[in-house]
Amino acid sequence: MRLQAFLIIFAIFVGACSGITVSQDYDTEADFSALRTFAWKLDPEAKPDAQSEMSPLVATRVRNAIERELGAKGITLDASSPDFLIDYNLKVESKISSSNVGTTIGFGTGGYHHVGGVVISTAPDIRQYDEGTLYIDFYMSENDRLVWRGISSQVIDKHEAPDRVTEQINLNVQKILEQFPPKDRGAG
């Protein structure tokens, strides 16, 4: 019974680890209700910096997702006279997690004139993984002042199929922009 409980808790923990974590920070003095049109801060065709994990294919997916999510909020792309500018970036970091105890269970069967057995051992569990962090920044167009930043972090697989990458980008952008405009003007 304890083993079943452990396996259920482990499955819940692993499932929770694969989720998306989002946060935001913003200028509490900014009037977000005045932001109805946007443009891209940098040329969408510009080459990403060397620190970015953003390929042109991923950049296009991010831009499309941002345009779609903001469009659903009534905020449109207007390169000629935008209320604010948008910039975005993706960073991928290799991380290591560990737990004090990991459990390994082995089962064996006996051969001719031998006895089978079960082996249970415990040892530290160390795991390496990649975490992607997507940043979306909003700047006032008249003075280039940062007024809002949304961030999402998620464990990622760099070798996902293109449709899976698109799905994950869409979900991350959706989760980030659910926070915009800020609801609680007193907390950041």
The full set of domains in the chain, from first to last, is: 20-96+128-177 (3.30.160.670)
Q: How much is the pLDDT for 103?
A: 62
Q: How many CA atoms lie within 13 A of 28 on its CB side?
A: 5
Tokens standing for 159? Answer: 């070798």
Q: Does the pLDDT at position 44 exceed 90?
A: no
Confidence of residue 116 (pLDDT cuts 50, 70, 90): low
Range scoring the smallest mean pLDDT among 35-49, 81-95, 124-138: 35-49
Task: List, for residues 140-174, the tens digit of each pLDDT value.
Answer: 999 999 999 999 999 988 788 999 999 999 999 99
pLDDT of residue 98: 78
Burial class (CB in 10 A: 0-12, 13-18, 19+), 36: middle
DSSP helix/strand/coil, 153:
strand
Percent of all residues in the chain with a pLDDT value above 70, rounded to a whole number: 70
- Specify the pLDDT at position 134: 97
Name the pairing type of β-strands 76-77 and 37-40.
Answer: parallel
pTM metric for this prediction:
0.73
Reading the block at residue 94, the tokens are: 């290799």
